[in-house]
Amino acid sequence: MEFILFIITAAVALLGAVAMLLTRNAVHSALFLLLNFGAIAVLFLLLQSPFLFTIQLTVYAGAIMVLFLFVVMLLGAEQVEDTPDRIAWQRPLGLLLGVALLAMAVVAAFRGGASTPPPGGEATATFGDPFTLGALLFTRYLLPFQITGIILLIAVIGVVVLNQRGRQAAAAKPPAGD
C-alpha cells in the first residue's frame, strides 16, 4: 500500500514540476509549484519524517509561496509576453540537460544502490528528528543557512528596486497619443 501511495505522490510531484516549467502564466506556474511542494511534503510523511513534512508545508508551501506570489504580482509578471526568445539556445540546452538527468536517474534506479541499507543503524534512527536537524543546521551548516537567508533578502530588495525604477520610467515617459 505504501509503495502505491509513493508512486501516486511521485507522479503528482513530477507532473506539477513539468507543468510549472511549461506554463507561460507566472501565477499558474507558482500554483503548480505549490502542488509540487505539497507532494514533496507527502513524500516526507511517507518517509516517516513528520517534522520535515510540517516544515515543508509551513515554510515552503506557506511562506515561500506567498513571497513568490507577492513578487509576481508586484512585478506584474502575470501577463503572458509574446516576445521572441532573446536567448534561443536555452530551450535545447535545457532539454538536453533534462534528458541527461533522466538517464542518470534511470541508471541509478537500475543499479540498485538505493536498496542497500546505509551503514550504521544509528543514522537512520535519528532521520527527521527535530533536535538532530536543528543541531546540524546551526552547527555544521550554519554558513550555508545564513547565505541562503541573505540571498533571499537580496532578491526581495532587488525586486522592489527594479519595480520602483520601472514605475518611475513609465511615469517619466510621455503618453503615446501626443
The per-residue pLDDT string of the chain (178 residues; one tens digit each, 9 = 90 and over) reads 788 888 888 998 999 899 888 888 878 888 888 889 888 988 888 888 888 888 888 888 888 887 777 777 777 665 555 566 666 777 787 788 778 877 776 776 677 654 555 555 555 666 667 788 888 888 998 898 899 889 888 888 887 887 777 777 777 777 665 5
pTM as predicted: 0.54
Contact (Cβ atoms closer than 8 angstroms) between residue 57 and residue 43: no
Q: What is the pLDDT of residue 114?
A: 47
Could you give the angle at the alpha carbon of 16 between the alpha carbons of 11 and 20, nearest 5°?
150
Question: Which cell numbers in the block locate residue 105?
Answer: 536517474
Question: Which cell numbers in the block locate residue 93?
Answer: 540546452
Contact (Cβ atoms closer than 8 angstroms) between residue 128 and residue 52: yes
Side chain identity at 49, as an amino acid letter? S
Closest by alpha carbon to 63, among 25, 27, 34?
34
In angstroms, the CA 148 to CA 173 distance is 38
Q: What is the pLDDT of residue 124?
A: 60
Terminal-residue alpha carbon distance, the chain? 69
| H-state helical runs in the chain | 2-22, 26-46, 50-55, 65-75, 90-111, 121-125, 130-138, 142-172
Q: What is the pLDDT of residue 104?
A: 77
Side chain identity at 163, as an amino acid letter? N
Phi, psi values for residue 92, rounded to 5°: -65, -35
Q: Calculate the dihedral angle through the C-alpha atoms of 24, 27, 28, 30, rounding to the nearest 10 degrees.
A: 110
Task: Quickly tell me which residue has 539556445 as its cell.
Answer: 89
Q: What is the pLDDT of residue 14?
A: 92
Residue 110 CA from chain centroid, whole number: 27
